[in-house]
Amino acid sequence: MRAWPVIAAMFVALGGLSAVAGYEMASPRGGAWREIAWPFPRDGWPAGRAFRCGAAACGIDVEVYLRPKLGFCNCDSGVADDDEVDRVADVDMISPRFAPLRAGEVVRVAEMPGRIRAYDLDMPDGKRTAIGIAVSHRCDLMAVAAQGRGDAAQVQRAVLGLLESAEVNKWMTVAMEGR
């Protein structure tokens, strides 16, 4: 009879652990984001991962594209300035007609330092906001480009939310160690 409270406590603990494990393995941001096919033509770098979140879940429609560029970063200084973000963050794949909104900022993603910058995009169906992020680990670079129908703060908040998710954070870390 004394074993029942111990057994019940074990089941409660296992249930709690299962809930935590399920949460950690869920899609980024609890299913708000869904992975989509890489939408860009092949170039000198492998395709990465692409995600979409709709206005109902994220407050705005936003897409994020991320991929590692192994061996493509300055081994000493990492991502040094906004010009480098403009060159490497892949915003030009979304549209070659982009203009920075302001100076970029220092950012840290998946324990990697780098820079983040917001842009106006001129698209055939109207203006959009883009976010470019370039972070480095040793001599490798993680390029992140995003586009959304919202102001720069909204798009940036959504993008960073995705990048901070356990699944995407883990994938970025593993991809950067992929040598």
**What residue spans define the domains of the chain?**
32-176
Lookup: tokens for 106: 């220092």
CB 143 within 8 A of CB 90: yes
- The number of residues in the chain equals 179
pLDDT < 50 stretches in the chain: 6, 8-30
CB 27 within 8 A of CB 33: yes
SS3 50: strand
CB 128 within 8 A of CB 91: no
Question: Which residue type is seen at 102?
Answer: R
Lookup: tokens for 159: 């993008």
pTM exceeds cut of 0.75? yes
pLDDT reported for residue 131:
98
Element (H, E) at 4: helix 3-25
Lookup: tokens for 145: 């480009």
pLDDT reported for residue 113:
94
pLDDT reported for residue 73:
73
The CATH fold assigned to 32-176 is Protein Transport Mog1p; Chain A (3.40.1000)
